[in-house]
Amino acid sequence: MINKEKLTELNNIYKTELLENTLPFWLEHSIDHQYGGYFSCLMRDGRVYDTDKFAWMLGRELWSLSKIYNEYGNDQRCLDGAKAGAVFLRKHAFTKEGDVYFSYKQNGEPLVHPYNIFSECFVCAGFAEYYRATGEEWSKELAIKLHERIQIRKKRPKGIWTKAVDDARAFSALNTIMIDFMLFIELKDIVPEYELMPILEENIHRFFKWHVDVPNNRILERAIPGGGYDFDHMEGRLLTPGHALETMWFLMKILHELGNTKLINTLAELMLHSINYGWDEQLGGIPVYKDALGLMGDKLEANQRHWWVHLESLSAMLLAYKLTRRQEFWEWFIRIHDYTFKHFPDEEYGEWYGYLDKYGNPEFTVKGSKFKTYYHLPRTLMCCERWLNDLYLSLPDTTV
C-alpha cells in the first residue's frame, strides 16, 4: 500500500543508509592520507587488502563524494575526501596522450595502460561533479577533454590492445551506449547541447534498433550492428539484466527531462520484461548474467548476486513507477528492496557486502575491490531517497 507513511518510512531508510551506514565507512577507510586518492580494496572491517589504485574506482568515488557534498548539505568531510581523489587523479591519471592509466601503485606510479575507455568515463564524470562542488575550472576542462577523447576512442575502445581480429565479428556493446547516456546526464551543464544531442540520438537509435531482442523484449549485451541476432555464440546471447536496467533508467531519466513520454512507455515495458526474466523466482535475487537461450556463457560468476545489480534494479523500478505510476513497478521495487536490504547490508561493520552466492549468503565479505567502490550504492540511495520524496509530495494529504 503506497501512502505517505510508507513513503516516509522508506525515505528514511535510504537516507540513513546513505549518510549514516555507508558514507562514514568510506570516509574513514578509503582515503589515502599519505598519497591522496582512494583505496578500494577494503576488507569487511575496512582494512586495506591491496594498496593499488584503479582509475575507474577513483573516478567513481570522486563522483560520489562530490555529489553527496553537492546534494546533502555541503558536508566538509565529503569535500575534503573529494579533493583527495581529484588532486591525485589530476597529478597521476594521464598519459601524455591525455588518456587515463587503468591502475596505479599507491604512490601514483602507473601500473596498467589505458587499454579501454572506462577509466576515462568515470574520471570524466568525477571531474564534472567535482567542478560543480568547487567551481575549479581545471576540473571542468579535464572533464571536457576526456569526453572528447572518449568520443574519438569509442569506435575502437581497446585501441592497440584490441585482441579481436578486426571485422571478424563486429558487435555493438551495450556498455558503450550506457556510458554515453551516463555522460549525457553528467555533462549536460558543461558540454554544449549541440554536441551532446547527436551522440544521444545515435545511442537511442542503437539501443532500440539493435539491442532490443524484439520477439522476446530482452536487451542484448552485444548486438549486431544494423540489427539481427547471433545466437550461435555465447557472446551474442549474453544478457545482463542489471546492466540492461541501469542503461534503461539512465535513458528514462533523460527522456523525462526532454519531455519524450512515448519512448518512456516503451522503455517501461522493456524494463518490466527485464526484471521478469532477470529475477530468480526459485531462489530470489537477480543473477549477474543469463543466456538468451538458457544455455551457457563464459562467466563463471554468472549465478552470484552482486550488489550493483540489485541497486540499479531498485533505481529502475522506482523511476519507472514515478513516471508511469504502474502498480507493477511499485511491487517490484518493494520485492527487490526487501531482498536487497535483507541480504546485502553488514549489520556489524556497516556498508554492504558486494558478492553473495545464489542463496543470498556472502560469497566474499569484502566491502570493496578492484570492481566495487562507493558508487552504485550511494547513487541508488540518493536517487531513491529523492524519488520517494517526490512521490510523497505528489500524494494528496488525504492519503496520510
User: Which residues are at the interface with its own copies (CB under 8 A)?
Assistant: 41, 43, 49-52, 101-102, 105, 109-113, 115, 160-161, 163-165, 168-169, 232-234, 293, 295-296, 298, 300-304, 355, 357-358, 363-364, 366, 369-371
CB of 193 to its own copies, least distance (A): 36
Closer of 108 and 136 to its own copies (Cβ): 108
Closer of 235 and 269 to its own copies (Cβ): 235
How many other C-beta atoms are found inside a 10 Å radius of the C-beta of residue 3?
13
The CA-atom distances, in angstroms, between 199 and each of 109, 170, 182, 204 are: 34, 20, 12, 9
Closer of 56 and 250 to its own copies (Cβ): 56
CB of 305 to its own copies, least distance (A): 12
Closer of 78 and 356 to its own copies (Cβ): 356
CB of 183 to its own copies, least distance (A): 24
Cα three-residue angle 296-206-204, rounded to 5 degrees: 120
CB of 113 to its own copies, least distance (A): 5
Closer of 46 and 266 to its own copies (Cβ): 46
Query: Do 237 and 293 meet the contact criterion of CB atoms below 8 Å apart?
Result: yes
> How many whole angstroms separate alpha carbon 24 and alpha carbon 318?
26
Dmax over Cα atoms in the chain, in whole Å?
64
> How many whole angstroms separate alpha carbon 68 and alpha carbon 75?
8
> How many whole angstroms separate alpha carbon 139 and alpha carbon 127?
5
- 71-77: long-range pairs with CB below 8 Å, 24+: 71/382, 72/18, 72/19, 72/382, 77/27
Q: Which three cell numbers stand for residue 139?
A: 576540473
Closer of 134 and 240 to its own copies (Cβ): 240
Local structure of residue 31 (DSSP, 8 states) = B
> How many whole angstroms separate alpha carbon 368 and alpha carbon 131?
26
Q: Any residues with CB less than 8 A from the CB of 114 and at least 6 apart, and which? A: 95, 99, 100, 101, 102, 120, 159
CB of 300 to its own copies, least distance (A): 4
Closer of 292 and 318 to its own copies (Cβ): 292
- Coil, helix or strand for 298? coil
CB of 105 to its own copies, least distance (A): 7
CB of 367 to its own copies, least distance (A): 10
Q: Which three cell numbers stand for residue 107?
A: 604512490
Residue 197 backbone class (left: φ over 0; alpha: ψ -120 to 50; beta: rest): alpha
Closer of 44 and 326 to its own copies (Cβ): 44
CB of 225 to its own copies, least distance (A): 17
CB of 354 to its own copies, least distance (A): 10
Closer of 96 and 163 to its own copies (Cβ): 163
b/e map 170-188, b = 16+ CB within 10 Å? ebbebbbbbbbbbbbbbbb
Query: Do 264 and 252 meet the contact criterion of CB atoms below 8 Å apart?
Result: yes
Closer of 41 and 78 to its own copies (Cβ): 41
C-alpha closest to that of 63 among 166, 143, 2, 176 = 143
Which residue in the block uniquely carries the three cell numbers 513507477? 321
Closer of 131 and 242 to its own copies (Cβ): 242
CB of 260 to its own copies, least distance (A): 38
CB of 371 to its own copies, least distance (A): 8
